[in-house]
Amino acid sequence: MDIQTVEKTLSVKEAIESRHSIRKFEQEDISKENLTEIFELVRLTPSAWNLQPWRFYVVTDHQLKEKLQDAAYGQKQVTSAPAVVLVYSDMEDVIANLPEVVHPGLSPERQQEEVANLSSFFAGMSIEERGQWGLTQTNIALGFLLTAIQGLGYASVPMLGFDHEKVKEILSLPEHVKFAAMVPFGRQAAEGYEHHRFPLEKIVTFH
Ligand SMILES: Cc1cc2nc3c(=O)[nH]c(=O)nc-3n(C[C@H](O)[C@H](O)[C@H](O)COP(=O)(O)O)c2cc1C
């Protein structure tokens, strides 16, 4: 799908280098087109067996943002942002709809075989273990989301500092879902901190 709704996009290098956590945003709504464009990119995140366990709950309603801010121990970036995305994994939904994830190019026999294999693999895990497994994949989508937001001219801050049970209750999400992050985002209205990162020598081995 080729939708061009954002006038200027950053290169991947520009987006990654310019991204900082931003905690103050302009009071300007994000258009539905721009929101859609961001999630059209995030939708392309890869996952093991293509299971795509990530789900996104986008909150723009002010009263709901106030409740989320309370659940996030008062962190003010939540109501400052025009949009707040809850990024979460729902593996039980994936398991209940396994035929959806099997590639349509496979023969019907191969598709059935895939579904049976996946079913038996995940049947050997508890709901909690499946939730944790789904979270490993959903974190990949979180990385794509932060990069897409930045690349399309917005800024964000990923957050895990919130009461997860309270947020499930506020958004009426099932008990089994696992959050990768709460992500307030919008147009940047303050500077972030300078990047402070390990040098390559510490984190990369070349052999
Ligand atoms: C998973 C995750 C959870 C985070 N939780 C919070 C949070 O609850 N509140 C906050 O202000 N920043 C939070 N941060 C932001 C980090 O502090 C920030 O990403 C880190 O210090 C690096 O700075 P930078 O994002 O500006 O490069 C979180 C970041 C990540 C990736």
Nearest atom in ligand 1 to the alpha carbon of residue 159 is 5
Return all residues near 106 (Cβ < 8 A) that are at least 6 apart. 114
Does the beta carbon of 198 lie inside 6 Å of ligand 1? no
Does the beta carbon of 166 lie inside 6 Å of ligand 1? no
What is the C-alpha separation between 21 and 10, in angstroms, rounded?
Answer: 17
Nearest atom in ligand 1 to the alpha carbon of residue 192 is 26
**Interval 46-85: pLDDT, tens:** 999 999 999 999 999 999 999 999 999 999 999 999 999 9
* Domain assignments of the chain as residue spans, ordered by start: 12-203
Does the beta carbon of 135 lie inside 6 Å of ligand 1? no
What is the C-alpha separation between 68 and 84, in angstroms, rounded?
Answer: 9
What is the C-alpha separation between 9 and 15, in angstroms, rounded?
Answer: 9
In CATH terms, 12-203 corresponds, of 3.30.1380.20, 3.30.2090.10, 3.40.109.10, 3.30.70.20, to: 3.40.109.10
- Residue 144 burial (CB count, 10 A): 17
Return all residues near 62 (Cβ < 8 A) that are at least 6 apart. 79
Average pLDDT over residues 102-119: 94
Nearest atom in ligand 1 to the alpha carbon of residue 181 is 1
CA of 36 to the centre of ligand 1 (A): 24
**Interval 27-46: pLDDT, tens:** 999 999 999 999 999 999 99
Q: How far is CA 173 from the centre of its chain?
A: 16
Nearest CA to ligand 1 atom 25: 21
Quick one: pLDDT band at residue 8, thresholds 50, 70, 90? confident
